[in-house]
Amino acid sequence: MRKGLQNVQDSVNSQYKIIAVDDEEGIVDSLSIFLKRSGYNFTGVTDPMKAIELVKNEHFDLMILDFIMTPFHGDQVVEEIRKFNQDLYILLLTGHKDLAPPLETIKRLDIQGYCEKSDKFDQLLLLIESGIKSIEQMNQIKKINAELSDTYEKLEKAYLDSIQTLRYTIEAKDIYTRGHSDRVAAFSVLIGQKLGLSDKDLRTLQIGGLFHDVGKIGVPDSILQKEGKLTDDEYSQIKQHPNIGVHILSNATIFEDILPIVEHHHEKYDGTGYPGKLAGEDIPYLARIAAIADSFDAMSSRRAYRDSLPLDKIISEFMRCRGTQFDPKLDDLFIDILENHFDEIKAIQEKYK
């Protein structure tokens, strides 16, 4: 019975690869006998440089590393390994505890433990068994996180697909706004790229642009498609679409980052916009970017009540509204894009006709 249990344990241990690095060949040989007898998949190395290359090119779960070695010490080996491998579990061997590296170095290099060299390997075996248990737990956590991530991505895709359908429903209500959200998203990202924004912010601008008008699902077709001037009451209903959009999207945490864009893309820099009458820096930065993209597409697109405006007229409008409707710095940047990089604007318009 006991032999059967040992065989099972050896089988479990063999799943884990251990590498030992010591410039004394006798130590490596002793560790080889000891650890292979315990069922571990073992590799022994006397050359620190070779050990670094092995770890770089093969998978190892745990490293047993001598501290005082030539041509360089164990902490220098770890320094190199941590440049490309943060997961390797490392146990440091020292000839004497007084020769161990400072605690600060052990923490900085994420060395999980150390022990003194001895003819007996009882203490080392306990540290190895403890290390293997930690590795098992970390592997399990990684597996769970991967499964959760996969599930989250599937849920996110399903929710995005459903909202996309809603977005297409809105655009189907008004032929003049077809492609509008795609262009606003692309123009917003273009501005963000010129500003050097992070990938995270660019993604928020893209998703925010796609769904900024989702609240128009709650606006009557008769208002969206009206060719004449809107009455005050009709305009009041139009002004509700940011709040409706936030209400729709706030039920899913995946849209949390884009809510400021959805809610505030009609705010004006002088505080006369809607729905919050926010002014200046109080308007979320990404919403200020989306506001420029949204206004440009409105001016450059044919609408139910007018034809598209020529480029010189659009530029003069942005100059006129600098500091009143639009953030002055963002306004200047976008005018520069219109004057000097219009080929990029044209490419977006051609893509999303």
Active site residues: 216
Whose structure tokens read 């440009």?
296
Contact present, 54 and 45 (Cβ < 8 Å): yes
Q: Which tokens hold the place of 353? A: 């006709």
User: Look-up: residue for tokens 């001895």?
Assistant: 118
**Across 47-195, where does the E strand assignment appear?**
62-66, 89-94, 113-116
Closest among 334, 329, 288, 286 to 311, alpha carbons compared = 334
Amino acid at 103: L
Question: Both tokens of residue 248?
Answer: 């729709």
Beta bridge partners of 326: 322
Token pair of 256 as six digits: 């949390």
**Contact 266/290 with Cβ under 8 angstroms?**
no
- The CB density around residue 55, as the number of other CB atoms within 10 Å, is 21
Backbone φ and ψ of 88, nearest 5°:
-60, 130
The continuous run of DSSP H or E covering 92 comes out as strand 89-94
Q: How many CA atoms lie within 13 A of 308 on its CB side?
A: 12
Shortest CA distance to 174 belongs to which of 211, 237, 223? 223
